[in-house]
A and B are shown apart, each in its own frame.
Chain A
Amino acid sequence: MADTPQNPAHARPLSPFISIYRWPVTMAASITHRVTGVGLALGMILVAWLLIAVATGPGAYDTFVTCATSIIGRLILFGFAWAVVFHFFNGIRHLAWDIGIGFKVPTALGTGFAVYVLSVLGAVALFAWGYHQAGLL
């Protein structure tokens, strides 16, 4: 798109496209909220799998546990945990905006930054709790 003008004499300034902007944390948090939302929808497949496995019997449950506790399973579950925490806290941020709270630029930047920090700390804390629950920590 940007390279369409063939005659330099007629080259006109283009309106800035998304790639030209610096990414403030508010913009990053917005798209991360959407990405984590889609990720959590896919994560519901895991919730359904767990529930089906428990309803089916010990064999199906053991298959689920084997997959969930494998290295890839743990990585996916960590991503799931992080997405849950991020979407949870950023969702609160969106609900606050819906009732008109937190729109000042420093506030929006601060809460956005806080959500990223909280999501990482939260995911690590949840995993530590899970490991503790399994007697591994």
Chain B
Amino acid sequence: MSIRTPFSRVQGLGASHSGTEHFWRERATSVALLPLTAWFVYAAIHLVGLPYQDAFTFLHEPVNAILMLLFVIASVIHMTLGIQVVIEDYVHTEGSKLVLFLLNKAFGWIIGVACVFSILRIAL
């Protein structure tokens, strides 16, 4: 027997008005990252010792560029969500929490844009 209104149940948001979405996005990206990380590790090791032209050619291959894009995008989403939880767990001052949230988002966007732009520059 619940005292929640049908509307509240339908929304499915709970007391904090969010959280399930964060949880699910973190899980979904983690599942996506299992094969993508396996590929990334292979790719990173493949690049070891390669001269510039060979490294460029590898990342220029459409399949490798696509997989690298997927890996970077899933990683950036996953890490931004993860670090947000770390901040929420350890920082309890509203001001510093807000600043760290913004820095976390900025970090994710900077890494994401830098990687995506570079991959496209190499591939296209």
Residues of A participating in the B interface, judged by any CB pair closer than 8 Å: 34, 37-38, 40-41, 44-45, 47-48, 50-52, 54-55, 57-58, 61-62, 81, 84, 88, 91-92, 94-95, 98, 126, 129-131, 133-135
**CA A47 to CA B51, docked complex, whole Å:** 17
Residues of B participating in the A interface, judged by any CB pair closer than 8 Å: 27, 30-31, 33-34, 37-38, 41, 45-49, 52, 55-56, 59, 68, 72, 75-76, 79, 82-83, 86, 107, 111, 114-115, 117-119, 121-122
Chain A contact surface mostly: helix
**Contacts A51-B114, A55-B118, A134-B49 supplied; 16 other A-B pairs, CB < 8 Å:** A37-B82, A38-B86, A41-B83, A41-B107, A47-B111, A48-B118, A51-B68, A52-B118, A54-B55, A55-B121, A61-B52, A81-B41, A88-B37, A91-B30, A95-B31, A98-B27
**CA A133 to CA B49, docked complex, whole Å:** 7
**CA A81 to CA B83, docked complex, whole Å:** 20
CB distance from B72 to the nearest CB of A (A): 7
**CA A47 to CA B68, docked complex, whole Å:** 10
A-B contact pairs, 18 of them (CB 8 A): A37-B83, A38-B86, A41-B82, A44-B75, A48-B114, A48-B115, A50-B47, A51-B59, A51-B114, A52-B114, A54-B55, A55-B117, A55-B122, A92-B34, A129-B45, A130-B45, A133-B45, A135-B49
Central interface residue in B38, B49, B72, B119, by most chain A CB within 10 Å: B49
